[in-house]
């Protein structure tokens, strides 16, 4: 009977760790989407000017706006 109790405790710990890991992965995904939206709406999409493409570099925390193949604007968005 003691073996079942230990197995139950171990499996419960594994399930809790899995849930924490999945929550962390979702949080990272939502943060990446938020950063892309900030880059697009707040930096690259102006009132009268809209660039053809944009890219948010998560490592450098820099938003790049492209017109064709040229980078026409870049802005550091540190803290996001």
Chain segment 11-38, per-residue pLDDT in tens? 999 999 999 999 999 999 999 899 888 8
pLDDT attached to residue 40: 86
Burial of residue 47, with CB atoms counted within 10 A of its CB: 0-12 exposed, 13-18 middle, 19 or more buried: exposed
Question: What's the CA gap between 29 and 8, in Å, rounded?
Answer: 32
Rounded to whole angstroms, the Cα distance separating 3 from 6 reads 5
Give the pLDDT confidence score for residue 30 in this predicted structure. Answer: 93
Please state the domain extents for the chain.
2-76
Decide: pTM greater than 0.85. Answer: no
**Side-chain half-sphere exposure of 54, counting CA atoms within 13 A:** 22
């Amino acid at each position: 009977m003691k073996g079942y109790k230990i197995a139950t405790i171990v499996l419960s710990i594994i399930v809790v760790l899995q849930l924490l890991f999945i929550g962390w992965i979702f949080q990272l995904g939502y943060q990446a989407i938020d950063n892309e939206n900030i880059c697009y709406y707040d930096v690259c999409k102006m009132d009268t000017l809209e660039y053809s493409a944009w890219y948010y570099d998560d490592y450098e925390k820099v938003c790049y706006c492209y017109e064709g193949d040229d980078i026409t604007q870049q802005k550091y968005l540190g803290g996001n």
